[in-house]
Chain A
Amino acid sequence: MDLALKPEHKAFADEVRAFARATLSPATRAKSFSGKHYDRDDHMAWQQALGSKGWLAYTWPKKYGGPGWDVTQRFLFENVLAEEGAPRIIPFGPKMVGPVIYTFGSDEQKQRFLPGIRASTVSWCQGYSEPGAGSDLANLRTRAVRDGDHYVVNGQKTWTSYAHWADWIFCLVRTDTEAKPQQGISFLLIDMKTPGVTVRPIIMLDGAHAVNDVFLDNVRVPVANRIGKENEGWTCAKFLLANERLGIAEVPASKRGVRSLRELNDDPSLNEKIADIDLQVQALEMSELRALSTMALGGAPGPEVSTLKVRGSEIQQRIAELAMEAVGEYAAPYQPDLLFRDTNETPVGPDHAPPAAPRYFNMRKTSIYGGSTEVQKNIVSKAILGL
Chain B
Amino acid sequence: MDLSLSDEQKQLQDAAERFVRDKYTFENRRKIVATEKGFLPENWAQMAELGWLGMSFSEADGGYGGGPIETMIVMEQFGKGLVLEPFLPTVVLGGGMIASAGTAAQKEAQLAPMIEGKKQLAFAWLERQSRYNLADVSLKATKEGNGWSLSGHKGVVYNAPSADTVIVLARTSGGAREEKGLTLFLVDGKAKGLTRRDYPTQDALRASELTFDKVSVDTDAVLGTVDTAFPTVEEAVDRAIVALCAEATGCMDAINAATLEYIKTRKQFGVPIGKFQVLQHRMVDCFTNAQEARSMTLMASLKIDDKDAIVRRKAASRAKVQIGKSGKFCGQSAVQMHGGMGVTDELAVSHYFKRLTMIDLMFGNQQHHLTRYSAPCWTPSRSWRSPPSGPSATKWPARPSR
Contacts and interface: CB of A to CB of B under 8 A. Distances in A.
Given A289-B3, A377-B284, A271 B380 contact: no
Contacts of B318: 279, 282
A3 B292 contact: no
B19 interface: no
Contacts of A289: 1, 3
B303 interface: yes
A384 interface: yes
B283 A387 contact: yes
Interface stretch (A69-77, A190-198, A226-234, A354-362): A69-77
A326 B164 CA distance: 54
B69 interface: yes
A311 interface: yes
Contact of A271 (B5, B291, B374): B374
Nearest to A271: B374
A283 B296 contact: yes
A72 B1 CA distance: 6
Contact of B5 (A1, A255, A307): A1
A271 B298 contact: no
Majority secondary structure, B binding face: helix
Contact of A381 (B281, B294, B370, B371): B281
Contacts of A381: 277, 280-281, 283-284
Interface string A249-281: 000000100110010000010011011101110
B7 interface: no
Interface residues of B, number: 44
B4 A286 contact: no
A290 interface: yes
A5 B1 contact: yes
B95 interface: no
B89 interface: no
Contact of A279 (B2, B264, B296, B382): B296
Interface residues on A, range: 35 or more
A374 B281 contact: yes
A284 interface: yes
Interface string A303-334: 01001001100000000000000000000000
A276 B321 contact: yes
Contacts of B260: 385-387
Given A1-B302, A3-B384, A385 B376 contact: no
A375 B233 CA distance: 47
A387 B263 contact: yes
A374 B281 CA distance: 8
Contacts of B58: none
Nearest to A376: B284
Nearest to B1: A72
Nearest to A382: B280
B302 A3 contact: yes
B381 interface: yes
A1 B291 contact: no
Interface string B256-280: 0000100110000000001101011
Contacts of B4: 1, 293, 297
B295 interface: yes
B264 A307 contact: no
Contacts of A75: 1, 384
A273 to B, nearest CB: 9
A76 B292 contact: no
- 7 tightest A-B CB contacts, nearest first: A275-B374, A286-B295, A381-B280, A283-B292, A377-B284, A293-B3, A287-B295
22 contacts: A1-B9, A3-B299, A3-B302, A3-B303, A9-B1, A275-B373, A279-B321, A282-B299, A284-B295, A286-B296, A286-B298, A287-B292, A289-B3, A293-B2, A293-B4, A310-B288, A377-B285, A380-B284, A381-B280, A381-B281, A385-B260, A386-B264
Interface of A: 1-5, 9, 71-72, 75-76, 79, 255, 258-259, 262, 268, 271-272, 274-276, 278-280, 282-287, 289-290, 293, 297, 304, 307, 310-311, 374, 377-378, 380-381, 384-387
Given A377-B281, A380-B284, 12 more contacts: A1-B3, A1-B302, A276-B374, A279-B318, A279-B321, A279-B322, A282-B383, A293-B3, A304-B291, A310-B288, A381-B277, A384-B287
